[in-house]
Amino acid sequence: MKKSINDLGDVKGKRALVRVDVNVPLDENHNVTDDTRIQAIVPTVKALQEKGAKIILMAHLGRPKGEWKPEFSLEPVAKYMSKVLGEDVLFVKSPVGEGADKELANLKDGQVALLENIRYYKAEEAKDDDMTFAEELAKLGDFYVNDAFGAAHRKHTSTAKVAHLLKPAVAGLLMEKEIRCLSQALDNPTRPFTAVVGGAKVSSKIGVLENLIDKVDNLIIGGGMAYTFVKANGGKIGNSICEDDQIDVARAIEKKAADKGVKIVMATDVLAADDFSGNGTNKVVPINEIPDGFEGVDAGPDSQKAFAEVIKNSKTILMNGPVGAFENPKFAEGTKAVLQAIVDATKNGAVSVIGGGDSVSAAKKYFKAEDFTHVSTGGGASLEFIEGKVLPGVAALDEK
């Protein structure tokens, strides 16, 4: 286990350099349109304030690729954060050098500052072992906290390198919760353990499927990737999305599951459309008899019932990816049904973890975060965690 801010000694008056993930969407007037990630770091900020630390937040916004582009400035985020925290957040225009020293010199105990977009510096994302930029950043703090799970899979200066220089280096409360919930689901699940894996492509989920087969009792495979499996078994998939170069991989995954005694649950019927906009003909057909000119876009009613039945009888559920093109309301019923079954199972005492960008979007669209045990804040990071990969931002933190 990694140390967290709960393991810190007396840090009153000390400077906490905290990497956070406040990569939030802004509209054309630079207003925050979804503050989920800002709200998620509040417990860590409040806990450090209670300890009397001076709090210096560093973060990124978008992908400016080492250039100072005004549309990627974090200044509007600092203003919004001031509202959320109910106090002024000091915005520091130049994160390193004399400017930063001057602006941060008078920071009071419990006060919060946010540095300008750390990705304005090319050295933030540099793949080399040069530590010059890390040394500059490390001078700003007396200890390091990483609360940016959403960026933990990046081996960047602010997420990994600084942690090797500035000690102690500990997890924030959000990071701690992410690691704990995902680890518990994957490594110590109450059984039966069911994983729902969806999304468009088998190729992007090979690692996830391989790792989960070693851990789960049931594997529900949905979304566009299901059609590669159907084709591998000789089914007719019409114009459905399919990766012909992954057919052998699909067969290998099915064989591995059979060898391990893992039950793979696939859709038996699907909603097929002859127009992806949903404005053409939409009809329910068997998944292995999709007519030419039609593509599968959602799990059908029988499949929804079968998925829900498996989920209802599970004690741990992990969802990574939707089971249909839910962005179109006409193709959202399957994903909604799966999420409803997970919510119901959670009410009955199951542990539920929603991990990965699209499944999190769907979960938030139709339900509240509180309806699940844990909704992950990191898309790419949770995907790599579920694959069993080491996340550089987590690995760099101190062990308990």
Cis omega before residue 286 (within 30°)? Answer: no
Catalytically annotated residue among 15, 19, 37, 119 = 37
Instruction: Give the Å distances, CA to CA, from 71 to 29, 44, 61, 158.
Output: 10, 27, 9, 21
Is 380 annotated as catalytic?
yes
Catalytically annotated residue among 46, 69, 201, 263 = 201
Catalytically annotated residue among 198, 357, 378, 393 = 357
Catalytically annotated residue among 52, 235, 380, 388 = 380
DSSP 387: H
Is 378 annotated as catalytic?
no
Task: Report how far residue 50's alpha carbon sits from residue 11's, in angstroms, rounded to the nearest whole number.
Answer: 10
Measured on CA atoms in the order 59, 64, 66, 67, is the torsion positive or negative?
Answer: negative
Please provide the DSSP assignment of 102-163 as one string: HHHTTPPTT-EEEES-GGGSGGGS--S---HHHHHHHTT-SEEEE--GGGTT---IIIIIHH
Task: Report how far residue 330's alpha carbon sits from residue 237's, in angstroms, rounded to the nearest whole number.
Answer: 20
* Count of alpha carbons within 13 angstroms of residue 36, beta-carbon side: 15
Is 357 annotated as catalytic?
yes
Please, are residues 168 and 3 in contact by the beta-carbon 8 Å criterion?
yes
CB-count burial class (<10 Å; 0-12, 13-18, 19+) for 9: exposed
Is 119 annotated as catalytic?
no
Task: Report how far residue 32's alpha carbon sits from residue 70's, in angstroms, rounded to the nearest whole number.
Answer: 15
Give the CA angle between residues 366, 371, 375 to the nearest 5°.
Answer: 85
Active site residues: 37, 201, 357, 380
